[in-house]
Structure 1
Amino acid sequence: MTAYSPARPAAPTGAEDAGHRFDAGRRWAASLELGFASRQGTTRLARARHRGPLRVQRPFYPEGRDASGRSGACHLYLLHPPGGLVSGDALSISAEVEAGAHALLTTPAANKLYRADHHDVAWEQHTRLRAADGSCLEWLPQETIAFDGSRGGQSTTIELAGEARCLGWEVLALGRPASRLPYVSGRIEQRFRLLRDGQPLWLERQLLDPAHPRFRGRWGQGGASVQATLWAVGLGDEADAIEALRERLPESPRWAVTVRHGVLLLRYLGSERNEAWRLCESAWRVLRPRLIDREACVPRIWRT
């Protein structure tokens, strides 16, 4: 794939030198900063700055224009050439969508969280997404696979202003059961914050530690190896959206849907990565027309 990089990378800093170490002080930072703006009815990638192995492919516009002449979402693929996080990696991704703009962000492949090195050095991944009043943001990364022994922390912060709309998901698979390598050691901490005009709508912290009773307890993870969360903010009729999901998604005790503080949340807890992905994609097809009055347009990278 051809990487899109209109801005020159930032100059190396002394902290980056730690990436060449192999002791407990190892650290390799990478960052990506994106900005989207509406220009004559079309969402443009107005800003793209990167440091380290984070890039974007050139924007795509597969949705055409509506009756009013406005183009559909700007589809953008986030690229991390290493394909996963190892001990000492520190990734930072930020994106800002200005008023009137519509961005759909996804990834070309699953993200992998590899086993910690013998120093047990953790990795970090931080994502911050901001959407201005009158904008729309879709955050649809492919799934994350955590290898046995992986140690690190993930945080996702979404800041909405005014009447901004947002739809997204996160799918996490623990271990590699097909290779008979379950997730039996390691420690992953996840934090999620969703705010509108600075006020919290949904705050969550989750610790995934096979040594903790919650990991196996029926009151917690229950031994499940795959989990997914989908959210939608800005729906006009939340009750109708929930009814449509219950009618069109396959009935199963492994998923449930609810609304709290204006945030529709769909949860999956099970053992099948493909099932979780299909569920999220199907829910997205149901919810997108209700959120932005446009049918779902599947990024072609998902089919390659």
Structure 2
Amino acid sequence: MASVSRARQAHVPMIASEHTPTAEVARTSRAGSAKLAFERVGNRTVVTTALAHSPLRLLTPRNHGHAAWVYTSSLGGGLVDGDHLSVELDVAEDSAALLSSQGSTRVYRSPRGCRSELSARVAPGALLAWVPDPTMCFSGARYTQSQDIQLAPSASLVLMEMLTAGRSANGERWAFTHYASSLRVHREGRALIDERWLLDPAHGALPARLGRFDALGTVLLVGPALDSAREALAAQVGSLPVTPRSGLVCSASPLGPDGLVLRVAASSAEALLRTTREWLSFLPSLLGDDPWIRRG
């Protein structure tokens, strides 16, 4: 498996999927920002603030559950050279929010680089599910992302992060120039997880380092709302047999008294998507509706 640089934790995980751009994307620098706020009103959560600046867009579909849903999208179908996107969100006390993406994050060839940032604050008793689609870096892409989440006592978090090998069918398997991702989750000033992934061919050819794996992923579960799900998943993943040359390698690591980190590497996007969806099969009951079925 590849040598991936990180500050804390070990192992590798994420997801894959293939897309082909339908038009040439202009290499124009764009800065897009968004602000989101969720509050509980009666027995439901509502979006009280949803401000976005191009090229970012926010979609707020209705659902049958008690949680509020928001999907992000980008004009142009992906990130081009010089793009910088940032999202700030607040989840108020006892509310429940789902934040996802309308599709995979495509990062096109970008000599100067692209970056995205997420900053979130989750209040006591609140739940944030941050479950975007995979990131897919094309040949020559340079991409940096950061995720910084502050959890109050009794707040809960579901987080999924996935990376694909790229357009493998086009001969662009792990052909990007640079990928860096940092994840920081704090509670009351104490770090629950603080890690950084770095994949760069300057440290060795990526296809050789990543071997048979075309998709990597992480699932993070923290907080009291996820107690039963964490216990079941820790037992399930911990009991998996170790099979030589397996197309799917998984691990589960406890994170403090009420956290769990799941890592996965897969030889195909389909296997990884299937696995992570199975891991998060509890999410529809937690939200009151199924965000994946409703997206078709």
| TM-score interval, normalised by the smaller of the two chains | 0.7 to 0.9
Q: TM-score, normalised by structure 2?
A: 0.80
Q: Deviations over 1:64-122 (max 9, x none)?
A: xxxxxxxx211222222222111110000121100011011112211101112xxx211
Query: Paired residue for 1:232?
Result: 221
Say which one has the larger Rg: 1
**Are residues 1:100 and 2:89 paired?**
no
Query: Paired residue for 1:257?
Result: 252
**Are residues 1:109 and 2:115 paired?**
no
Which AA in structure 1 matches 2:235?
E
How far apart, in 1, do the equivalents of 2:237 and 2:62 lie?
29
Matches within 5 A, 1:118-197: 120-197=111-188
Cα pair 1:259 1:265 within 8 Å, conserved: yes
Cα pair 2:237 2:250 within 8 Å, conserved: no
How far apart, in 2, do the equivalents of 1:297 and 1:191 lie?
28
Q: Deviations over 1:16-74 (max 9, x none)?
A: xxxxx97xxx63210011000011121110011122221222332222xxxxxxxx211
Q: TM-score, normalised by structure 1?
A: 0.78
Cα pair 2:174 2:207 within 8 Å, conserved: no
Which AA in structure 2 matches 1:254?
V
Cα pair 1:31 1:92 within 8 Å, conserved: yes
Matches within 5 A, 1:1-304: 27-63=29-65, 72-116=66-110, 120-213=111-204, 215=206, 221-222=210-211, 224-234=213-223, 235-236=226-227, 238-245=230-237, 253-261=248-256, 262-286=258-282, 292=286, 297-300=290-293, 302-303=295-296
Relative distance call for 1:298 and 1:266 in structure 2 (3 A) is same
Please report how far the alpha carbon of residue 248 of structure 1 lies from its aligned counterpart in structure 2 after TM superposition.
Answer: 9.7
Query: Paired residue for 1:16?
Result: none
How far apart, in 1, do the equivalents of 2:138 and 2:196 lie?
20
Relative distance call for 1:181 and 1:216 in structure 2 (3 A) is closer
How far apart, in 2, do the equivalents of 1:112 and 1:170 lie?
14
**Alignment RMSD (CA, Å):** 2.7
Q: Deviations over 1:238-281 (max 9, x none)?
A: 444411455799x9651121212232111111331121111111
Q: Which consecutive unaligned segments of at least 5 residues does structure 2 have?
A: 1-25
Structure having greater relative contact order (Cα 8 Å, sep ≥ 6): 2
- Runs of 4+ with >6 A deviation: none
